[in-house]
Amino acid sequence: MNRSKSIYTYILLIAGAIILVNLLGDRFFLRLDFTADKRYTLSEATKNILATLKEPVTVTAYISEELPQQFSQLRRDFREELIEYSNRSNGKVIFDFINPNKDDATEQKTMQEGISPVLINVREKDQVKQQKAYLGAVVQYGDKKEVIPFIQSGSAMEYSLSTSIKKMTVENKPKIAIIQGHGEPSLNAMAQVMQSLLVLYDAEPVTLDDISVSLGNYKTLVIVSPKDSFPPSHLAKLDEFLSTGKNICIAMNRVNGNLQTVSGSAVSTGLEQWLEGKGLRVNPDFIIDQNCGSVMVNQQQGGMTFQSNMRFPYLPLITKFAQHPVTKGLNSVILQFASSIDFSPGGNAITFTSLANTSEKSGTENAPLTFNITRNWQQQDFPRSNLTVCALVSGKLSGNMTSRMIIISDGDFPLNGEGQQARQIPGDNLNLLVNSIDWLSDDTGLIDLRTKEVSSRPIDQMEDGKKAFLKYLNFLLPIFLIIGTGVVRYQSRRNLRIRRMNENYI
């Protein structure tokens, strides 16, 4: 009887504990994040954005139900993310989930909101079928609305949500001047860069000849890929801008490579001499790197012509970055005909920080030169290492106020191009330039979200020894765990049998 009561007591206690945990879980949301980059932990930037909300934000998630496992997980992750947003904002973030596949009217409304379906593969009865699914959301703040057409997993989810909220809630966007008039590409040729900048800034084209424009209204000047000379009056305006404590970001070509003529030459715009006055020298050389991109080459074999990829060291793949907010989270940036950067401080109180460097096997070749695309490169062709391709200088660059400049020795790496020449640029190329402008211009911390979004660890960039270790660890660890569990259970039962055989055992 006592034993029966004890069992019932245990059952009631367990049931009560389960009910209590569920009640607490409904009231208090907690999510443990064991990822190395804390991709499931809200960043300080997001917390700051949510803390300053003046009105409620409504998030309507249009996500199809009855999807394969990976998409069902995305739905759960998005719900948990929104719960955390709601808790952090003291209930100002309100959310709702709608199944667009419920009926035709709901599906029509979803598409009218700007969310288009995607086709996903679903396996049914040993057959793979395509199913139409919706994976988007609409964020509303007052009479403003932002559409997230496709929700991505991981930290990209937070980036999409937070930037959408920030874009609607920011009242006075800082102004960024994109300098024009020296052969720089138009803003249309930097479509991805502009799309990212316009979340937080009013980015406007500015000509230094325009006397009606006051540079004092701008927080940062951006100079990308100039081809023509800067007259002394324009350089004087750059000095005047720095003297007020403002900042400049420059992505410039010191050399030009032409694959049609397989030749390379030096470029001079006057910026290089102006930078030398700040102790910064962008050399008229071509960086070569064993870690590089490739080009398509026409080759003949017999009577046939075919194309093949050839590694081209003049397109360095940069994977070494400083521990700095500008480069935090970046993995690889592909440059086109970059140059090395040196620093000679002289007597000025200027600090220099190398933000991005070449690999341990790199070198330089002076312009002019002729490219040998089919050259058989050897180890001795790369005698140098850790050459700077992106640098930060700060201090009294002009006048008595502290200002900062970021210089990247390739002006073409963030360009999409225009018309039929338009292309998508790699994510880290975009982030290097936008992060630079963010760090010089913005104090909200959204730069942490962008770099958090792109953080990854591609296994093909690991050392062979580490890859082999992880492979065998994944294979052997479960086996050892099973064997270890079996040994422990065997030993435990053996000890129990021995104790039972003892005449004093009760």
Q: What is 36-168's CATH superfamily?
A: Glutaredoxin (3.40.30.10)
Q: Which two tokens stand for residue 82?
A: 């929104």
Q: Are strands 285-289 and 362-366 parallel, antiparallel or unpaired?
A: antiparallel
Assigned fold of 173-285+317-370+381-461: Rossmann fold (3.40.50)
What pLDDT does 4 receive?
A: 61
Query: Collapsing DSSP states into helix, strand and coil, what is residue 109?
Result: helix
Q: What is the pTM of this model?
A: 0.72
Per-residue pLDDT of the chain (506 residues; tens, 9 = 90+): 555 666 677 677 777 777 776 666 555 555 565 555 556 678 888 888 898 898 999 999 999 887 777 778 888 889 989 999 999 899 999 999 999 988 889 999 999 999 998 888 777 666 777 778 899 999 999 888 999 998 887 667 888 898 889 888 887 888 999 999 999 999 999 999 998 888 888 999 999 998 888 899 999 999 999 999 999 999 999 999 999 999 999 999 999 999 889 999 999 999 999 999 999 999 999 999 999 999 887 766 666 666 778 899 999 999 999 999 899 888 999 999 999 999 987 666 889 999 999 999 999 999 999 999 888 999 999 999 999 999 999 999 998 899 999 999 999 999 999 888 889 999 899 999 999 999 998 766 666 666 565 445 555 555 667 767 777 777 788 888 888 888 888 888 888 777 777 656 55
CA 262, 265, 266: angle at the middle one, nearest 5? 160
C-alpha 256/C-alpha 337 separation (Å) is: 7
Q: Please report where in the chains the tokens 């419920």 appear, as a residue.
A: 102
How many of the other CB atoms lie within 10 Å of CB of 41?
A: 15
| Domain pair 36-168 / 173-285+317-370+381-461, same fold | no
Q: Please report where in the chains the tokens 């990212």 appear, as a residue.
A: 196
What pLDDT does 484 receive?
A: 84
C-alpha 390/C-alpha 353 separation (Å) is: 9
Q: Are strands 304-318 and 333-334 parallel, antiparallel or unpaired?
A: antiparallel
C-alpha 397/C-alpha 394 separation (Å) is: 7
What pLDDT does 496 receive?
A: 78
Q: Where are the domains of the chain?
A: 1-30, 36-168, 173-285+317-370+381-461, 462-506
60 neighbors 98 (Cβ within 8 angstroms): yes
Query: Collapsing DSSP states into helix, strand and coil, what is residue 150?
Result: coil
C-alpha 191/C-alpha 200 separation (Å) is: 15
DSSP secondary structure letters along 26-68: HHS-------TT-TTS--HHHHHHHHT--S-EEEEEEE-SS--
At 482, which helix (H) or strand (E)? helix 464-501
Question: What would you report as the CA-atom Rg of the chain, rounded to the nearest whole angstrom?
Answer: 29
What pLDDT does 304 receive?
A: 67
β-bridge mates for residue 136, sequence order:
62
Q: Which residues contact 152 (CB under 8 A, 6 or more apart)?
A: 160
How many of the other CB atoms lie within 10 Å of CB of 393?
A: 23
What pLDDT does 34 receive?
A: 54
How many of the other CB atoms lie within 10 Å of CB of 202?
A: 15
* CA neighbor of 201 nearest in space, from 449, 428, 438: 438
Given its phi and psi angles, is residue 282 left (phi above 0), alpha (psi -120 to 50 degrees) or beta?
beta
How many of the other CB atoms lie within 10 Å of CB of 104?
A: 8
Q: Are strands 57-63 and 369-370 parallel, antiparallel or unpaired?
A: unpaired
Q: Please report where in the chains the tokens 């009926």 appear, as a residue.
A: 103
C-alpha 303/C-alpha 299 separation (Å) is: 10
